[in-house]
Structure 1
Amino acid sequence: MVSELLAQLEELSRSRPDRVLRLTGELPGDGGGIEPFELLIFRGFSSSVSHPTAFDPDQPALPESARLMRAELLQGPLNPAAEQRVAGPMDPELLLEPDRWG
């Protein structure tokens, strides 16, 4: 389930303030189409770069219908002008292993 995976990744990120996790994938769009999304996880919190999310941090940042396709670990805190990729792209589930957070 997407919400369980996100919760586990958020938990792992709490212990790694030097990493930002970028997740990309697809969401069902209005009218039956597919929309790409980008989600960042930093210090235990998810934030969507491409779609609005609920204000309540206890609500999942993505619906269960989301399809997670790719994960990248970036050096944190994130500097958009000089992004540094530490690992990836890879399957998001691989990052459930703490050793992969570098």
Structure 2
Amino acid sequence: MGISVAELLLQLEEISRSRADRVLRLRGALPVAEAWEPFELLIFRGFSSSVSHPTDFDPDQPLLPEAARIEQAELLQGPLNPQAEQCLSRASGAETYLDPSAWL
């Protein structure tokens, strides 16, 4: 059995605290009613932020439901500059970035 979505986000946030020059973007799908809806999440300096969906005000609540599918992870140069976004690497899964050396 793999790692839970909530634990994955917590571990990625922890690693990102020491990498202020990196932003991790996660893309995937959320279960909504009888369908799936795309989402985008950014992790920067120890915090996750959804850029596609509203989030709960309580920071102790998971940002993504456990049924969320994380389909793509990209490591970007931070802080982000939307006019000149710089992708440093793409991985097949977010778990790749649980290894701190993947953030180099």
Same structural fold, with TM-score higher than 0.5 when normalized by the shorter chain: yes
With the shorter chain as reference, the TM-score category is: over 0.9
| TM-score (norm. length: structure 1) | 0.95
Report percent identity of matched pairs: 67
Instruction: In structure 1, give the amino acid aligned to 2:15.
Output: L
RMSD: 0.9
Instruction: In structure 1, give the amino acid aligned to 2:29.
Output: E
| TM-score (norm. length: structure 2) | 0.93
Of the three residues 18, 21, 25, the one matched with 1:22 is: 25
Instruction: In structure 2, give the amino acid aligned to 1:22.
Output: R
Greater share of helix residues, 1 or 2? Answer: 1
Please state how far the C-alpha of 1:70 moved relative to its aligned partner. 0.8
Of the three residues 66, 69, 72, the one matched with 2:68 is: 66
Partner of 1:7: 10
Please state how far the C-alpha of 1:89 moved relative to its aligned partner. 3.9
Q: How many residues align?
A: 101
Q: Which runs of 5+ in 2 are unaligned?
A: none
Q: CA offsets, 1:19-76, max 9 Å, x none?
A: 000000111113x111010000000100001111112222211111101111000000
Q: Which runs of 5+ in 1 are unaligned?
A: none
